[in-house]
Structure 1
Amino acid sequence: MINRLFSQTIIFFCFLIASNVHAQDRSIQGKVTTFESIPLFGVEVQVKSTKQLVKTDSLGRFVVNCNNKDRLSFFAHGFNKQNVTLKEKTKFVAVNLHLKPGEKGKAYAIGYGHVLEEDKLSAITSLRDDHDNFSKYVDMYDLIEGRFSGVQVDGTQIIIRGRNNMGSTSSNAALIVIDGIVRDERTLSSLPPSTVKSIDILKDGGSAIYGASGANGVVLIETKKGGEE
C-alpha cells in the first residue's frame, strides 16, 4: 500500500513538472513599432512568469517563451511602457509604442538608437493637451490653425506642404488619421477639441510610410481614453 502511494506521488509530481516545462515551451513571436509601422530596435521585452528579458532586432522583431496565460512588458527610452496580456491561442504579438510628450522623448528615442532620426522623428511637430488646454478652442480647425509652422487651414482642408501646381482638380489636403484610422474632414469637423490628447503633424520623409495617400502630409490625432482628462 505504501509503495503504491509512493509511486502515485512520484507520477503526480512528474506530471506537474512535465506540464510546467510544456507551458514554458510555448513560443511567442512579435514585432514592436511606433507610428504604426516604424520598427523599433532594442526595445526590452520581459515575460512576467519567468522574468526572461529579450530585445527587439533591427526590424523590431522578438521571440520569447512563456506560459499559456502570461504577460509581456515592453520598455524603451523615450516611449511609454506597455503591457500585453497573452491569450491561450496567441502566437504573434504586434505592439505600437507611443512617444512620450515633448522633445526629450524624441531625443531619448534617437539617442538610444530605437529609431533613426531620418526615418521619422525629424519630420514630426507635436502638440499635447497637457501643454495647452484644447477645450478652449471652438473646433479642431481653430486648434490647428496658427499652432504649427507651415500648416494652413483652407475651409475644411488642412494644408501642410503648401499648394501644388498640378491644377485645381488635385487635392492639397493632408491625410487625417484619428486613433490609427484614416478619417475624412467631416469626422474632423465633428471632433470636440476637449476629447483630443495629442496632435502630430508629419511632413517630408515622416509621411512617406503612408504612401501616396500621405504625399501632402499627415495629421495624426490621438483622443483621450476612458479616465483621461
Structure 2
Amino acid sequence: MKNYFFSIILLVILAGFSTTAQTRIVQGQVTTLDNLPVANFEVHAKKSGAGINTDSLGRFSIVTKEKDVLLFKGKVFRNERVRINEKVKDSLFVHVTFIPTPENKKRAVGYGYVDEDELINSVSHMGPENEDFCNYSDIFELIRGRLPGVEVRGRGHGAEVVIRGTNSLNLSSCALYVVDGIVVSSISHISPCNVTSIDVIKDAGSSIYGSRGANGVVLIETKKGGA
C-alpha cells in the first residue's frame, strides 16, 4: 500500500515537472514604421490563453505553451502571427504594418499606439483638409515642398519623387508610386484636381512592397479611383 501511494505522489510530481517544462515565457517588442514602438498593442497566446498589452515602449512578456501561436492585433495595423517553437528565441521582435489612412492616423494616436509627433515624422500626408490642390499645375508641383522629408527632382514629365533617408537598392532613387492600390511607373499624368490624398511611407513601413519599396512609397488616392 505504501508503495502504491508513493507511486501516486511520484506521478503527480513528475506531471508537475512535465507541465512546467511545456510552458515558456516569451518577451519581446512590437514596432512599426521607422521602428516606432507600439504601445497598448494586443498580444495573445492561442494555447495558453494568456493575453497582454504592450507597454509604452512596445514591450511585452507572455506565458506560452509548447507549439503555441502568438497573435498580434491592433485596430489600424495588419494582424501578425508568430508560431513558438524551438527556433524562436525568448526575445522576440515583431514588426507590424501600419495602414496609412487619415482616419487610421487619428485612431493610432487616439488608441495610444504611437505618439502624434513620431507618427507625423514617419508618415507624411496630404488629404481632403488641403483644399488648394487645383492651384498647382501638375502633381509634382503639388508634392514639391509640401511633404516633410520629400523632394522632387527635375520638372515636368521627367521629374521624380525622392524620399530623403532611404537607401536605394538599385540605380534609381525614385520612390515607388502606388495609385489607388496599383503600382504605376509614372504619376505625371495625374491631375492635382483629381487627387484626394497623398501619403508617403519609408523604411520599415514600406517593407510590404519588398525591394521595390526600398526608396520609399508614394501612395496616391484619386477621386472615384480615376487618375
Residues 47, 66 of structure 1: 8 Å contact kept:
yes
Matched to 1:158, the amino acid is: V
Q: Which residue of 1 aligns with 2:165?
A: 175
Query: Identity rate of aligned residues, in percent?
Result: 26
Residues 80, 97 of structure 1: 8 Å contact kept:
yes
1:14-93 equivalences under 5 Å are 14-24=13-23, 26-89=24-87, 90-93=89-92
Q: Which residue of 1 aligns with 2:94?
A: 95
Partners of 2:117 and 2:141 in 1: CA distance: 26
- Give TM-score scaled by structure 2 length: 0.59
Partners of 1:126 and 1:33 in 2: CA distance: 20
Matched to 2:112, the amino acid is: G
1:46/1:4 Cα in 2 relative to 1: closer, same or farther (>3 Å)?
same
Deviates more, 1:29-38 or 1:144-153: 144-153
Partners of 2:65 and 2:26 in 1: CA distance: 10
Q: Which residue of 1 aligns with 2:171?
A: 186
Partners of 1:123 and 1:36 in 2: CA distance: 6
1:80-229 equivalences under 5 Å are 80-89=78-87, 90-121=89-120, 124-125=123-124, 145=140, 148=143, 150=146, 151-154=151-154, 158-159=161-162, 174-176=164-166, 182-184=167-169, 186=171, 201=200, 220-221=216-217
Residues 40, 54 of structure 2: 8 Å contact kept:
yes
Matched to 2:57, the amino acid is: L
Q: Which residue of 1 aligns with 2:135?
A: none
Matched to 1:109, the amino acid is: A
Q: Which residue of 2 aligns with 1:136?
A: none
- Indicate the RMSD between aligned Cα atoms, in angstroms: 3.9
Unaligned 5+ residue runs, structure 1?
128-143, 161-173, 177-181, 208-217, 223-229
1:12/1:152 Cα in 2 relative to 1: closer, same or farther (>3 Å)?
same
1:12/1:200 Cα in 2 relative to 1: closer, same or farther (>3 Å)?
farther
Matched to 1:30, the amino acid is: G
Residues 201, 219 of structure 1: 8 Å contact kept:
no
